[in-house]
Structure 1
Amino acid sequence: MRRLIYIILASATVALTACKSNPLKVDVSDIDVDVQVERFDRDFFACSDGDAYSQTLKLAEKYPFFFDMYNMHIISCGTYSDKSYYECLKVFFSDYSVVEAYNAVNKEFADCSDIQETLVDGFRHLVYYYPETEVPRVVTFVAGFNQSVVLMDGYVGIGLEKYLGDNCPLYDMLQIPDYAKHEMQRKRIPVDVMTEIFHDLHPYEPATDNLVNRMIYNGMSMYFVEAMFPDMPETDRLTYTGEEIGYCHHFERDMWTALIENEYLFTTDLFTIKKFTENAPFTAPFGQECPARVANWTGLQIVKAYVENNKVSFTELMQETDYQKILNMSEYNPR
């Protein structure tokens, strides 16, 4: 019964939100962006067959800069001019988890047109808000489960083995917990790409690193993603179920009161901050029924209140680095 109530609350919230005009729904139809999902993973694994040396030369020409960065910083084999490089490649291509990951990626991502279409929409919105921004090349790779999305000079790299779906047997083999697997789905890729771009455009540089500053910064990140994908379902943007969103709305006032009364808001204790803002089975201080990362969700509500109550534009919001000012001027007071 309680689960049903939360789902109904989430549905009611969506309906009420739909009645309001969404300032983030802008016309980007006349903005052209060239976004192609380039399969570097396939090109790179072709080096495991035949003449690896000639293949690497072709890759260096086709993916300038990214190929070197991938070799040095993602798979840690150095540069292809190093004597030890090709021995490192042999070890990499013979690693069981890497081989299985690549096979699974080939099966799950035989077609990436849906991802490309969503990214095109996201980059159109990015250019709308940041007209001077250069749209990066989008490349995919496999690296042995150590990277999700990376930004490099002129590139966005996507580690596809981190998005094989929560039923992927490899994740069980690697003993990845269920709560983490929930975020390892292909629909998460565009969200993670834009989240990394937000972090690159607007690094977190607070005067004091406390919980409320993290909450609001993370809330700004979530608002940024919503601006890039205004038509994306909230469940996909937040990686919450409808039930979890309903819970957040139902207990919004209680959570805010608890954050204040227990003096959590201004804590600088990193362990406590992580309990409220990082992925986990649940938000431990609020009990096992409370979804993970609820402080970030609360931060998003503060950001939205700040925007609405002060008629702040998206650009003005993103230029603001005084998170305490956002809190004070938001007049956030859930009822």
Structure 2
Amino acid sequence: MKQLIYIFFVITLFSACTSRSDKEIDTSAIDVKVKIKRLEQELFSLQSKESVKNFLDNNQVFTKQFLQAEQYPHDSLLVNSVYQLVTDTSIHVLLNETREEFADLRYLEQEFTDAFKHIKYYYPDFKVPQIQTVVTGLANDMYVSDSLIIISLDFFLGDSATYRPQFPQYVLKRYRKEYIVPSVILLLSKKYNLINPADRTLLGEMIFYGKAFEFTKYMMPSKHDSLIIGYTGDQLAESDTNRNVIWGHFIEKKLLYETSHFIKIKYVDERPYTAEIGSKAPGAIGRWLGWEIVKAYMQEEKPNLQNLMKNQDAQRIFTQSKYKGKS
């Protein structure tokens, strides 16, 4: 389940991105305690290839999944690669900045604890995964599975970092520490977000994203919508103000049931803006619209979260939402 996260800014507070009190629940009796293991401390204390090999052998999931050991024809190549990493002086610049910026991870542990308590409230069988941090020299940003989460902290140092990931600015601005936990929860939502594999429509993809954002909001109800969807406060406010224009475009162009990959990616993939609508329409506007439809569905039908997430019928969700833009 490893994937590049399109994630993470000072948020301007707008009504569109405030918390929604209907998602506040009492989780005080739920027993969850998160303790993050800082792998970077051990990793960068290694001083020989033999010690690197022992470290990799003792951290098999990290080695196989995060470092993708299978892509190396021989174990020695991976050992050499990691040894070069831990002895690279430029990487040590990032390491020192990471140690300073993330000197104390108690706030992250508390955010994860609160979010996991919410997941366990809605899904009692949820097993809390281990969480580890690392510094990779901007090689891999994050790994998320049911049992283990690995976060490369150097990706999330923010604008003051000496080195930054080589992403476009509209993506890079979201690689900040306030986005770490929402991004992990968004990825964890995939396990619960059932889809109809036969539905190849743009609407189907929009509803998938909408359900994922709604799941994350339920698990982190006090988080601003902007930290969940990755828009700025201004972008959320603009989208809300111009929802009739956005909706009208989707209807006029008959986009909801579009199945062409090349057309769909214009509305759900990362872009600086959605040029087909206008320069002020954020990229991936179809994801935003999908969330708006899901919000309307939740208000109209009032299903519980579990029923929403296992509902594979995007058309039914859309129809019952009665969504038609802003009235």
With the shorter chain as reference, the TM-score category is 0.7 to 0.9
Quick check: which one's helix share is greater? 1
Matched, 1:310 2:308: no
Residue 96 of structure 1, CA deviation: 6.4
Aligned 1:121-270 pairs, distance under 5 A: 121-152=114-145, 154-171=147-164, 175-202=166-193, 204-270=195-261
Residue 155 of structure 1, CA deviation: 0.4
Residue 198 of structure 1, CA deviation: 0.8
Deviations 1:200-224 (A, max 9, x none): 3336553222211111110101001
Counterpart of 1:277 in structure 2 is 268
Counterpart of 2:6 in structure 1 is none
CA gap of 1:124–1:91, structure 2 versus 1, over 3 A, is same
Partner Cα separation in structure 2 for residue 67 and residue 12 of structure 1: 44
1:120 to 113, 138, 141: 113
Between the aligned residues of both structures, percent identity stands at: 26
Q: Return the TM-score normalized by structure 1.
A: 0.84
Partner AA of 1:239 in structure 2: G
CA gap of 1:158–1:208, structure 2 versus 1, over 3 A, is same
Counterpart of 1:110 in structure 2 is 103
Partner Cα separation in structure 2 for residue 244 and residue 216 of structure 1: 20
Alignment check: 8 A CA contact 1:44 1:59 kept? no
| Structure 2: gaps (5+ residues) | 1-10
Partner Cα separation in structure 2 for residue 43 and residue 169 of structure 1: 23
The 3-state SS of whatever aligns with 2:136 is coil
Deviations 1:131-189 (A, max 9, x none): 10110001112334343321246201112222121443412xx6532211111000000
Residue 58 of structure 1, CA deviation: 5.5
1:293 to 271, 275, 284: 284
Residue 279 of structure 1, CA deviation: 2.3
Counterpart of 1:329 in structure 2 is 320
CA gap of 1:256–1:153, structure 2 versus 1, over 3 A, is closer
Alignment check: 8 A CA contact 1:206 1:322 kept? no
Aligned residue pair count: 316
2:54 to 57, 68, 80: 57
Residue 199 of structure 1, CA deviation: 1.6
Residue 24 of structure 1, CA deviation: 1.6
Partner Cα separation in structure 2 for residue 110 and residue 58 of structure 1: 23
RMSD: 2.7
Partner Cα separation in structure 1 for residue 193 and residue 90 of structure 2: 35
CA gap of 1:157–1:212, structure 2 versus 1, over 3 A, is same
